[in-house]
């Protein structure tokens, strides 16, 4: 039944709004080189490569073919996968299956985006039905604003609850040298920032960044040789919801509920809040940092605001969420999910430096995208 797979190296660029010093290919090369250094290997030791991004953002079709010089992919098996916001975790899943299949021993997973060369919102808007839903739901903010409005009405969550999440993630980013937005903010700052789409304000929302991330997956045999403490993959699960926004359940997130329930089952997790030591979650807006905690089974539906107010997910709380600063600090879209995987792996490997949570044994990773699509990956210090 398949092979065990561990993460043995991670590299990422210094993310920014405009990386004028580097082309897309150079961003990729920067992340790949750093991952090679982290795992202490060379290009020759890579058996296959998985790459992904959002084609329309940089207007490059078949980016695997163009980026091969940055990837070191010449005359290697290459896979290009892409699924919108979940692209980063889709890449990680593909790399995981490639190694688990027994065909490849060391696989390089790369996600990237150069949003400064793109009209990101215009490109994202094309995924909505052009007649029925492109106007109200174009871009990323519309659906997120809708779901939190309904959550507030149903369960009495507030805008301040979301602001608490924004403060947590943004201040965590101060400890992460790779983060794009690094600013000390308070709840007042968030509440006073310009309204984008009620109830989401400027400081609640993710930016669009230039950046890339590379993660190296290895089979059990190699991982044990290559890394003193690999981050083992315990589960990888994907669930996709209906296509039309109007068909979705808005007060909770069925795809995340089902994906996490299945992943917990595979990894033998029964009490996620207690058993996980850290979580790197794809939270595109601070509002989701409230609402989606329900769907990750940390509490009953509607109870998340209480946990947020108690600081359960702060760095010194029961389950630190997004020590890296998360998506509202850094968002090179095709890389964003993979950065979650890489940061969680570093937490397990003990390489997270200033943002290290002590003694991490189990880490939870999520990806979000498409139309409420959810990916859940669980990493652990112990063999699965």
Partner 1 sequence: MERKVAIVSHVQTKHSSDIGMPRERMLFNLVKELHNKVGITRHDVDSYVLCSNDFEAGRTISTVFEDTPVGAYMKDETKVEMDGIMALIYATMRILSGQFDTALVVANSLGGSQFRPFLIMEYQLDPTFDRQVGLINELNAGAFQARSYMDKYGLDEWFLDAISARLLRNGAINPYALRSKDDATPEYVASSEYYYEPLRKLHCYPFSDGACAVLLACGEKAKELCEKPVWIKGFSNSLETCRLGERELYTSPSTKQAAEKAYKAAGISDPANEIDVAEISAKFAHQEPIICESLGLFPEGSAEDVAKNDLAEITGKMPISPSGGGICTYVFSAAGLINVAQCCQQLTGEAGDAQVPNAKIALAHGQDGFCAQHNSVVILSSEEG
Contacts with partner 1, residue ranges (CB under 8 A): 1-3, 23, 54-62, 64-66, 68-69, 73-84, 90, 93-94, 96-98, 100-103, 123-124, 126-127, 129, 236-243, 254-255, 258, 369-371
| Angstrom distance (rounded) from CA 15 to CA 212 | 8
- Nearest residue (CB) to partner 1, 224 versus 240: 240
Helix 141-155 vs helix 288-295: crossing angle, to nearest 10: 70
Closest CB 369 distance from partner 1, rounded Å: 8
- Nearest residue (CB) to partner 1, 202 versus 297: 297
| Angstrom distance (rounded) from CA 90 to CA 23 | 24
Closest CB 254 distance from partner 1, rounded Å: 7
Closest CB 370 distance from partner 1, rounded Å: 6
Q: Which residues contact 277 (CB under 8 A, 6 or more apart)?
A: 319, 320, 347, 357, 359, 360, 361, 362, 363
Q: Is the peptide bond before 81 cis (omega within 30 degrees of 0)?
A: no
| Angstrom distance (rounded) from CA 54 to CA 84 | 6
- Indicate the burial class of 358 (C-beta count within 10 angstroms; 0-12, 13-18, 19 or more): exposed
- Nearest residue (CB) to partner 1, 65 versus 195: 65
Closest CB 249 distance from partner 1, rounded Å: 12
Closest CB 178 distance from partner 1, rounded Å: 26
- Nearest residue (CB) to partner 1, 90 versus 322: 90
Picking from 22, 11, 10, 9, the residue whose alpha carbon sits closest to that of residue 210 is: 22
- Nearest residue (CB) to partner 1, 155 versus 250: 250
Closest CB 197 distance from partner 1, rounded Å: 20
Residue 17 in tokens: 């709004």
- Nearest residue (CB) to partner 1, 127 versus 293: 127
């Amino acid at each position: 039944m398949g092979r065990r797979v561990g993460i043995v190296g991670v590299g990422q660029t210094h993310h920014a709004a405009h990386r004028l010093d580097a082309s897309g290919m150079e961003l990729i090369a920067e992340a790949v080189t750093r991952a090679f250094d982290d795992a202490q290997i060379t290009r020759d030791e890579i058996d296959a490569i998985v790459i992904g991004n959002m084609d329309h953002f940089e207007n490059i079709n078949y980016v695997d073919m163009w980026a091969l010089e940055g990837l070191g992919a010449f005359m290697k098996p290459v896979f290009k996968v892409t699924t919108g916001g979940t692209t980063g975790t889709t890449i990680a899943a593909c790399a995981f299956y490639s190694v688990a299949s027994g065909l490849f021993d060391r696989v390089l997973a790369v996600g990237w985006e150069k949003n400064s060369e793109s009209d990101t919102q215009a490109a994202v808007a094309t995924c909505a039905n052009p007649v029925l839903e492109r106007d109200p739901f174009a871009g990323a903010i519309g659906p997120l604003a809708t779901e939190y409005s309904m959550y507030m009405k149903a369960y009495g969550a507030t805008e301040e609850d979301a602001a608490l999440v924004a403060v947590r993630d943004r201040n965590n980013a101060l400890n992460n040298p790779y983060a794009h937005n690094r600013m000390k903010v308070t709840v007042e700052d968030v509440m006073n920032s310009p309204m984008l789409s009620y109830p989401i304000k400027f400081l609640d929302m993710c930016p669009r960044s230039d950046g890339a991330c590379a993660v190296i997956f290895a089979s059990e045999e190699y991982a044990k040789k290559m890394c003193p403490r690999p981050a083992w993959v315990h589960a990888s699960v994907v669930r996709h919801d209906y296509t039309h926004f109007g068909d979705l359940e808005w007060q909770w997130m069925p795809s995340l509920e089902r994906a996490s329930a299945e992943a917990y089952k595979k990894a033998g997790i029964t009490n996620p809040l207690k058993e996980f030591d850290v979580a790197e979650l794809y939270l595109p807006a601070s509002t989701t940092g409230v609402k989606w905690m329900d769907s990750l089974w940390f509490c009953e539906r509607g109870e998340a605001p209480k946990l947020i107010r108690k600081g359960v997910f702060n760095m010194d709380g029961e389950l630190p969420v997004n020590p890296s600063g998360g998506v509202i600090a850094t968002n090179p879209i095709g890389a964003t999910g993979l950065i979650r995987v890489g940061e969680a792996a570093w937490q397990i490997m003990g390489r997270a430096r200033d943002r290290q949570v002590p003694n991490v044994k189990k880490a939870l990773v999520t990806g979000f995208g498409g139309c409420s699509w959810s990916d859940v990956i669980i990493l652990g210090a112990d063999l699965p």
